[in-house]
Amino acid sequence: MNKILDYGSLNIDKTFLLDHIVQPGETIASYDYKINAGGKGTNQAGALAKAGCNVYMAGKIGPDGIFILDLLKECNVNTQFVHRNSLTTGQALIQVAKNGQNSIILNAGANFENTKDEINNTLNNFSKGDYLILQNEINNIEYLINKAYEKELTICFNPSPFTKDILNLPLEKISYFFVNEVEAAQIAEETNVENYDSILQSLSKKFPSSKIIMTIGKKGAYFSFDKNKIHQEIIDAPVIDTTAAGDTFMGYFIASLIKGYTTSEALFYATKAASITVSKPGALKSIPLKEQVFK
């Protein structure tokens, strides 16, 4: 089976459960507070491993984040390429409202201390046909893309959180884009985020060698490549917490392809997995096991 390297963020999630998301100038009390492992890198690696893939996590944590490695190992993620320094681990302050919506503030911490030597030493363990999973929550993204492309890795990029710097990256080297409709519109430089067909066409024209997977909340998800476009409806589920839903979707989509499923089947299983995730609280712990999805 192909090896998967998730070079990404490892965060400590500090979650406040609230009646509603705090408004500017407002102070409200939470009715619960939890500390969990998080970060898009952590969540996506966990999703891939729970889906049955051979996953390696790479990145950096501080001394306060050792418990994240233990949780990843419980998911069968190999953590040998996670380095440590004396800084604090990346932090995420998360508000979760009763309707399941969330609001997140990030502090990069150790996530922005990855060195080129560490990247080189890690990539030396991977070869043509292996996968590289990237998000926009760590430093040296451009270097990672270029080096992975030289090694002919399949590069999967989730450009979240979106920053304008993303447009300066060598995006033509990306194999798979995983975006929501807002991120897709920003990369396509379209102003109407609800004109999904136009956004997909713009992205496909801009990056003809890349496959586009765009999620649109309750309106489902699209796959677009060349002249092929597939739509997947959502699978209704009670929404408790939307944290890690997109990470679960990405992980299970890639896992489905590696397992030999068609693109349509991959969209279905990714959607099914995400629907299970939103029905549970938390991030890593809310991601379902393969037995719950592939049946």
Average pLDDT over residues 148-161: 97
Residue 238 confidence (pLDDT): 86
Match 């049946």 to its residue by tokens: 295
Percent of the chain at pLDDT > 70 equals 100
pLDDT band at 243 (very low <50, low <70, confident <90, very high): confident
Given a cut of 80, whether residue 283 has pLDDT beyond it is no
Who wins on pLDDT, 22 or 236?
22
pTM for this structure? 0.92
Q: What does the mean pLDDT of the chain come to?
A: 94
- Which pLDDT score, from 0 to 100, does residue 152 have? 98
Q: Calculate mean pLDDT across residues 216-242.
A: 91
Helix (H) / strand (E) containing 149: helix 141-150
**What are 71-83's pLDDT values in tens digits?**
999 999 999 999 9
Radius of gyration of the chain (CA): 18
pLDDT at 125 over 80: yes
pLDDT in tens, 180-226: 999 999 999 988 888 888 999 999 999 999 999 999 988 999 999 98
| Domain positions in the chain | 3-10+38-89+108-293
Beta carbons within 8 Å of 133's beta carbon, 6+ residues apart: 4, 5, 6, 7, 8, 41, 44, 45, 48, 156, 158, 250, 254
Tokens of 295: 């049946």
Contact yes or no for 280/240 (Cβ under 8 A): yes
> In CATH, what class is 3-10+38-89+108-293?
alpha beta
